[in-house]
Structure 1
Amino acid sequence: MANKKYDYLIVGAGLFGSVFAHEMTKRNKKCLVIDKRNHLGGNVYCEEQEGINVHKYGAHIFHTNDKRIWDYVNQFAEFNNYINSPLSLSKGKLYNLPFNMNTFYQLWGTKTPEEARDIINKQIAKYGTKSPKNLEEQALSLAGKDIYETFIKEYTEKQWGKKAKELPAFIIKRLPVRFTFNNNYFNDKYQGIPIGGYNVIINGLLKGIDTKTNIDFFEDREQLELLADTVVYTGKMDEFFDYKYGQLEYRSLRFENELLGIDNFQGNAVVNYNDASYDFTRIIEHKHFEFGTQDKTIITREYPEAWDRSKEAYYPINNDENQKLFKKYKAESQTLKNVILGGRLAEYRYYDMHQIIASSLAKVEEISSNSNE
């Protein structure tokens, strides 16, 4: 093994792979990072158009309570003070999100927390149930009928491609209901967008490291594996094992970008479109992430789609059947030597960006401590 060119072949140039490569390079390990796309950065990749950083694979807003992770990303980029305050369009009317006193005033005309809380509690008592069996029952039990029908039902059905009564209750573990006039979507202490886009962070992480794009690991797997002592794989777990136990399920997304000859389309970075009459779930106006003053603007309509192997996998469908299947793959992966699986797809779970970074750092620390024993 000593004659291999690299210590690590890292399959996937997203956040998990890029952080892993950066940290192992600091520890004098030789890394090669490959990606089947024509760019580095995975889903956080930004494409500059008309001086605007377009979030190519959906909106990415960095937020965390973990100072260690916040300090880590700030090594590579300066963050602005963007606060995520989305709007929601329902039946022709705009509402503030997350559900807060502004939302309740727009919905009912209530002016005090007591008035709003009273309406919600009465609706929960009338429409809720102690043992919700599906998403609709869960939402009614958490927030009442008006909030469910105005903001949740049609949006969620578009997102998952199923009726709310057919979706499991666990999809909505809780609903953030605030009795303050606070439109900040996240509760985290640290939040912002890297000035210049996420590519600044990825380029910083991968500086001086060998990278190759347009490389499909599965098309030349045997030869690629010969290049390194260890493979770090961040793609789909079932694909790594050639779907031997069956195929895991996902939801996909389709993005339609439009360049407009105006300087401001919707006045906000994120506007949700709840109604079933719209096929898309939201419109992103990218310039507002970085407070852009360009003469033009770029918007993206986001369409949820059924997933197949020809499409990008975005959201794991973590129902009982898929979790059982994933556990089979996970058990087999733990028997492999010289293979590390990590990240959103390999772990079949939804990760925020700070969680992926933390997961990659933890894996590096685990390997380093074991090698020092």
Structure 2
Amino acid sequence: MQISDYKYVIAGSGFLGSVLAERIASVLKKPVLVLEKRGHIGGNCYSETDPETGIEFHKYGTHIFHTSNERVWNYINQFTSFNQYRHQVLTTHEGKVYQLPINLETINSFFSLSLKPFEVEEFLHQQAAKENISDTSSFEAKAISLVGRQLYEAFIRGYSAKQWQTDPAKLPADLLSRLPFRKNYDENYYFSTYQGVPSNGYTAIFENLLSDPLIDVRLNTDFFDVKDQLAADATIIYSGPLDRYFNYSLGKLNWRTLQFEKQVVGVEDYQGTSVMNFADVAVPYTRQHEPRHLHPERSYTKEKTIVFTEYSKADDGSEPFYPIPNAENIALAKEYRKLVGQEKNLIVAGRLGDYKYYDMHETINRALEIFDDQIKTLHTS
């Protein structure tokens, strides 16, 4: 089929695009064209095997699937199984390793105390009261009001400043919801009911999602290079940067991107965990990833391992990973969303399209809702 023959065209083959392509093909029984500017499917969830060590890794940073959404869990399990991996993160501050998220072990170790769980709340209240904070609308103020300045300065401020390339005092308070907190010794990073890493890796999920013969995937194809060839009545599902779709007509949104440096180390286990955070601003990188730990059920080589050092960088929109949700960007994104609403047969969504920091399960849920509420409606109208 020619590009102009397709009535459904999807820009991007990450979870949003792949789920919607699968739904359109399997439920509506309609041909769908998926355009992917990269040379592989799966967006930032793409995984591959390192040829030197045989260790599978996530090319764009460690991805742990977790959800308490029964519908999402049942849906995605049609296309993969998951191992029993449970995510634990450690953080290094001033040369010492601590548990993350902040839990009772972190607090006792940091303050050289031996608090009991029932004593934690009062202790943190006393820490926070020293600052006498009344306005908790910013990320920084909210964090200090919850854990006090010392824990904030040690484990949250520096890492967040590096991660978001923004002063934490200028970030919205609701970002703090991404940082779990424990008053006991629970080391599990997520509260979610379901958790794991795909048994056969992430790429296999996308291969399964996009396997229907009605789905035509074209790699190394930029949506904007072929946009003029699309049928006038085609339904366009765009999951790229929101501002890029409108050629930055209202101004550019700010994005964060990641850079990874790979190192093969001649030991079986380099850091003992899949992700090690580095909390101090003086350390230029945010995290180190050791992907062998993501698949404890596999037998990898004992002679060597791979480690990826992650740097957070400001991005010009050419390779965006995450939105930077400060007040100015949120306001500009709202104006762009108004333009989306004025377009016929256009759906803009996903982490980049909605300018929201979705996790994988949230993106899948968004795709399922779009299919039910918008695409099926368009199909029957």
Judge same fold: TM > 0.5, yes or no: yes
Give the residue type in structure 2 aligned to 1:338. Answer: N
Of residues 91, 95, 100, the one that matches 1:97 is: 100
Deviation for aligned residue 1:220: 2.9
Question: CA contact under 8 A between 2:125 and 2:146: conserved in structure 1?
Answer: no
Instruction: State yes or no: 1:125 paired with 2:129.
Output: yes
Q: After superposition, what is the alpha-carbon deviation per residue over 1:28-82, rounded to whole angstroms, capped at 9, x for unaligned?
A: 1101111110100001001211322211111111000011111111111110011
Change (3 A) 1:43 1:335: same
| Residue equivalent to 1:256 | 261
Q: How does 1:276-287 map to 2 (within 5 A)?
A: 276-287=281-292
How far is 1:166 from its partner? 4.8
Mapped contact 1:9–1:228 kept (Cα < 8 A) = no
> Aligned residues: percent identity?
40
Alignment of 1:246-325 (within 5 A): 246-291=251-296, 292=298, 293-295=300-302, 296-310=304-318, 312-325=319-332
Q: CA deviation at 1:299?
A: 1.1
Q: 1:320 to 1:166 in 2, by over 3 A?
A: closer
CA distance in 2, matches of 1:166, 1:32: 40
Partner of 1:68: 71
In 2: Cα distance, 1:280 partner to 1:174 partner: 20
> How far apart, CA to CA, are the structure 2 residues paired with 1:372 and 1:133?
44
Amino acid at match of 1:303: Y
One-letter amino acid of the structure 2 residue matched with residue 270 of structure 1? V
Q: Is the 8 A contact 2:92 2:279 kept in 1?
A: yes
TM-score by length of 1: 0.93
The 1:371/1:34 distance shift into structure 2, 3 A limit, reads closer
The alpha carbon displacement at 1:168 in A equals 4.8
Shift of residue 176, structure 1, vs aligned partner = 3.3
Q: How many Å separate the matches in 2 of 1:35 and 1:175? A: 32
* Alpha-carbon contact 1:128-1:140 (below 8 Å) kept: no
Per the alignment, residue 205 of structure 1 pairs with 209
* CA drift at 1:261: 2.3
User: Which residue among 191, 212, 219 is the counterpart of 2:225?
Assistant: 219
One-letter code aligned to 2:327: D
| Aligned AA (2:334) | K
3-state SS of the aligned residue for 1:99?
coil
Aligned partners of 1:198 and 1:75: how far apart in 2? 14
The 8 Å contact of residues 275 and 289 in structure 2, kept in 1 or not, is answered as yes
Q: Distance in 1 between matches of 2:210 and 2:44?
A: 16
Q: Are 2:239 and 2:348, in contact at CA under 8 Å, matched by a contact in 1?
A: yes
Cα distance in 2 for partners of 1:174, 1:32 equals: 34
Partner AA of 2:224 in structure 1: F
Q: CA deviation at 1:164?
A: 3.7
> How big is the shift at 1:227?
9.1
CA distance in 2, matches of 1:167, 1:324: 13
Q: Which stretch has the larger CA shift, 72-81 or 290-299?
A: 290-299
Asked whether the equivalents of residues 63 and 191 of structure 1 are also in contact (C-alpha less than 8 Å), the reply is yes
Tell me how far 1:119 sits from its aligned partner. 2.4
Letter in 1 for 2:353: A
Q: Which amino acid aligns with 1:123?
A: Q
Letter in 2 for 1:263: E
SS in 2 for 1:220: helix
SS in 1 for 2:353: coil
Which residue of 341, 349, 356 maps to 1:334?
Answer: 341
The one-letter code matched in structure 2 to 1:210 is D
Aligned letter for 1:54? Answer: F
Distance 1:265 1:347, change over 3 A: same
Greater CA drift, 355-364 or 164-173: 164-173
**1:189 alignment counterpart:** 193
Contact 1:193 1:289 in 2 (8 A): yes
Q: 1:326 to 1:368 in 2, by over 3 A?
A: same
Check conservation: 1:4, 1:228, Cα contact below 8 A.
no
Q: What per-residue deviation string (whole Å, max 9, x for no partner) do you get for residues 95-146 of structure 1?
A: 1111212212222332412343332111111124011364433322111122
Q: What is the RMSD of the two structures over their aligned residues, measured on CA atoms?
A: 2.1
- 3-state SS of 1:32 partner: strand
- Cα distance in 2, alignment partners of residues 350 and 96 from structure 1: 24
User: Equivalent residue for 1:42?
Assistant: 43
Secondary structure (helix, strand or coil) at the match of 2:8 reads strand
Where do 5+ consecutive residues of structure 1 fail to align?
none
Residues 254-303 of structure 1 show CA distances to partners (whole Å, capped at 9, x for unaligned) of: 11121222211101001101112211011010110111432321111110
Partner of 1:19: helix, strand, or coil? helix
**One-letter amino acid matched to 1:348:** Y
The amino acid that maps onto 2:220 is N
